[in-house]
Amino acid sequence: MYTSEEIARLKELDRALIWHPFTQMKEYVAEDAPIIAAGEGCYLIDIYGRRYLDGVSSLWVTVHGHRVAAIDLAIQEQLGRIAHSTLLGLGNIPSILLAEKLVSLAPLGLKKVFYSDNGSTGVEIALKIAFQYWRNTGQPQKKRFLSFYNAYHGDTLGAVGAGGIELFHHIYGPLVVSSLKVPSAYCYRCPYGDAGTEDCRRDCFGAVARTIEAHAPELAAVIIEPLIQGAAGMLTWPPGYLRHLREICDAYDVLLIADEVATGFGRTGKLFACEHEGVSPDLMVVAKGITGGYLPLSATLTTERIYEAFYADYAELKTFFHGHTYTGNPLACAAALANLRLFKEVKLIEKLQPKIARLQELLVGFWDLPHVGDIRQAGFMVGVELVKDKETKEPFPLARRTGRRVILKAREKGVIIRPLGDVVVLMPPLAISEEELSHLCEVVAVSIREAA
Ligand code: PLP
């Protein structure tokens, strides 16, 4: 392993040089965060050789675990050929084979693949394609987007404009083109005050329908995280919401963008969250789990109809003028191909079902824990909302940081998780064993009790 001098130097350099994402550095430099040196299965191993269960899949990406022989080998084999060549005007083999695979797996009608490097740029591409689609087809007035409060679509400016999380997005308001927004289904704090009543569906479904109807002539697209809003704290949509949205979009000729960056590749128990409602979007963005947590890659898939609107003589200026340097990187595509092959070989989705049920059972015990106000789950996406007062649902004051205290307690016990405010998130690798799953829940429950 590492000598004490090496460890001290690494820690010092980390604190001195690296500005960590979504992190208040004043807190980071004062604490002793692990520096990860290796991984194995569902575990991360730090520079001291300490093992931590990876309870959030290294930010929602790990599928089969760390250091999976088949994915390691695929990357090594690709390295023996070429690490990178541009997709601007050239092809490369892994990106072609991956596109074939993605189209075969994606919801019906998604036939074209545009690559980039991460979820945010995948979303930018979807927004820009939708915007330009209407220009290319002679309806330039259709240029606005509709999204949802509590939405998270990434940190680039287009994605921030579609975002609806006050804490992350408000400050950048003057910098972005904000979308129209409709309340999302935060049932625990229902925006209409009628969650679970007979009026619940009417209010929730009606709001989006009315807004689309009122703005259809100027609307390019609606963007939604299907089934569950992840970064908002795991807010699940009521059953039928996505199908309802598809129907309204069809009725008013508005494109539907499904942001499957978090939900894609098995996270919710099906390969894509859209499958739960039999919905095919016009554009679908995937990233995170696409390479099984190995390399940065995203893909924005779309239909023949949209692609055709860009297919013209150059002089018509209908080209999609967008592309990132590492678009369709061969190493990342090779990793994704190996990852997706494994899905079939190890029957991942099939084997996931009893684990999802087990997780649901384990979570029942959480209701009795102090300060647990709500528990939300869609497959292997879980949010446990902690509140100061269970009766009144009063949140903890910002200074209390209970979610953060829970994750620090869990870390002491060998489990890495990351909260979203005071929502404790569990997103284990899909290949986690039932034993590891029980251990994860046990440690998190104890940590909630200790932190409360
Ligand atoms: N869209 C959704 C639904 C996400 O959850 C995320 C990231 O968490 C993104 C987009 C942005 O992806 P990335 O962090 O890869 O840019």
181-191 pLDDT, tens digit per residue, is: 999 999 999 98
pLDDT in tens, 36-53: 999 999 999 999 999 999
How many angstroms does the Cα of residue 159 sit away from the middle of ligand 1? 9
In a domain, 28, yes or no: no
- Which domain does 261 fall in, by range? 72-345
Separation of 194 CA from ligand 1 center, angstroms? Answer: 30
Cβ neighbours, 10 Å, residue 304? 12
The per-residue pLDDT for 198 is: 74
Residue 259, annotated as binding a ligand: yes
Cα–Cα dist 146/299, whole Å: 21
Q: What domain count does the chain have?
A: 2
Has residue 120 been placed in a domain? yes
Mean pLDDT calculated for residue range 23-42: 96
Is 23 contained in some domain?
no
CATH of the domain at 378: 3.90.1150.10
Average of pLDDT values for 215-243?
97
Does 196 have pLDDT greater than 90? no
Closest ligand 1 atom number to CA of residue 118 = 15
CATH, residue 306: 3.40.640.10
Interatomic CA distance for residues 68 and 335, integer angstroms:
11
Atom of ligand 1 nearest to the CA of 298: 15
> Do 304 and 418 reside in the same domain of the chain?
no
DSSP codes of every residue in 409-449? HHHHTTEE---BTTEEEE---TT--HHHHHHHHHHHHHHHH
Residue 33 binned pLDDT confidence (cut-offs 50, 70, 90): very high
Q: Which atom of ligand 1 is nearest to the CA of 154?
A: 11
User: Of the residues 319, 345, 371, which one is the last residue of a structural domain?
Assistant: 345
Taking alpha carbons only, the member of 56, 40, 30 closest to residue 407 is 56
- State residue 6's pLDDT score: 98
Pair 123, 215 in one domain: yes
Q: Report whether 104 belongs to an annotated binding site.
A: no
Question: 60 and 144, same structural domain?
Answer: no
The 10s digit of each residue's pLDDT in 290-345 is 999 999 999 999 999 999 999 999 999 999 999 999 999 999 999 999 999 999 99
| 186 and 330 both lie in a single domain | yes
The CA-based angle 398-401-403, given to 5 degrees, is: 130
What's the pLDDT score for residue 3?
Answer: 97
Q: Both 315 and 383 in a single domain?
A: no
Do 436 and 320 belong together in one domain? no
d(CA 365, CA 372): 10
Each residue of 393-402: pLDDT tens digit?
Answer: 999 998 888 9
pLDDT for 202 equals: 86
In a domain, 25, yes or no: no
Rounded distance from Cα 80 to ligand 1 centre (Å): 31
What are 147's strand-pairing partners?
181
Residue 157 forms part of a structural domain: yes
The CA dihedral of 342, 347, 348, 351, to the nearest 10 degrees, is -160
Section 112-126 average pLDDT: 98
| Claim to verify: residue 202 and residue 255 sit in the same structural domain | yes
Let me know whether 337 and 357 are in one domain.
no
List beta partners, residue 207: none
Pick from 125, 127, 153, 227 the residue to mutate for probing ligand 1's pocket: most ligand atoms within 8 Å of its CB. 153
Residue 335 lies in a domain: yes
Ligand 1 atom showing the smallest separation from residue 229 Cα:
3
Residue 163 confidence (pLDDT) above 80: yes
306 shares a domain with 214:
yes
Is 161 found in the same domain as 49?
no
Give yes or no for residue 201 having a pLDDT over 90.
Answer: no
What confidence tens digit (pLDDT) does each residue in 374-428 have? 999 999 999 999 999 999 999 999 888 899 999 999 999 999 999 999 999 999 9
State the pLDDT at residue 200: 81
Distances (CA, A) of 430 to 293, 359, 378: 11, 12, 13
Is 95 annotated as ligand-binding? no
Regarding beta strands 219-224 and 144-148, do their DSSP bridges make them parallel or antiparallel, or are they unpaired?
parallel
Packed helices 241-251 and 199-215: angle between N→C axes, nearest 10 degrees: 30
Give helix 330-345 / helix 348-364 axis angle, nearest 10°. 80
What is the Cα–Cα distance from 179 to 195, expressed in whole angstroms? Answer: 26
Close Cβ partners of 353 (under 8 Å, ≥ 6 residues apart)? 269
Residue closest to 444 by CA, chosen among 31, 43, 55: 55
pLDDT digits (tens, 9 = 90+) for 53-79: 999 999 999 999 999 999 999 999 999
Pocket of ligand 1 (CB under 6 A): 118-120, 123, 152-154, 225, 230-231, 259, 261-262, 287
Among protein residues, the one whose CA lies closest to atom 10 of ligand 1: 153
Domain identity same for 232 and 334? yes
Q: What pLDDT shows up at residue 195?
A: 78
Residues 136 and 255 in one domain: yes
Mutate to test the pocket of ligand 1, among 121, 148, 152 (most ligand atoms within 8 A of CB): 152
46 is in an annotated binding site: no
The reply to whether 325 sits in an annotated binding site is: yes
Of the residues 330, 345, 360, the one at which a domain ends:
345
**Residue 21, in any domain of the structure:** no
What backbone torsions phi and psi does residue 10 show, to the nearest 5 degrees? -60, -45
Exposed, middle or buried: residue 416 (CB in 10 Å: 0-12, 13-18, 19+)?
buried
Instruction: Out of 275, 310, 345, pick the residue that ends a domain.
Output: 345
User: Which element (helix H / strand E) includes 407?
Assistant: helix 402-412
Tell me, yes or no, whether 246 lies in a domain: yes
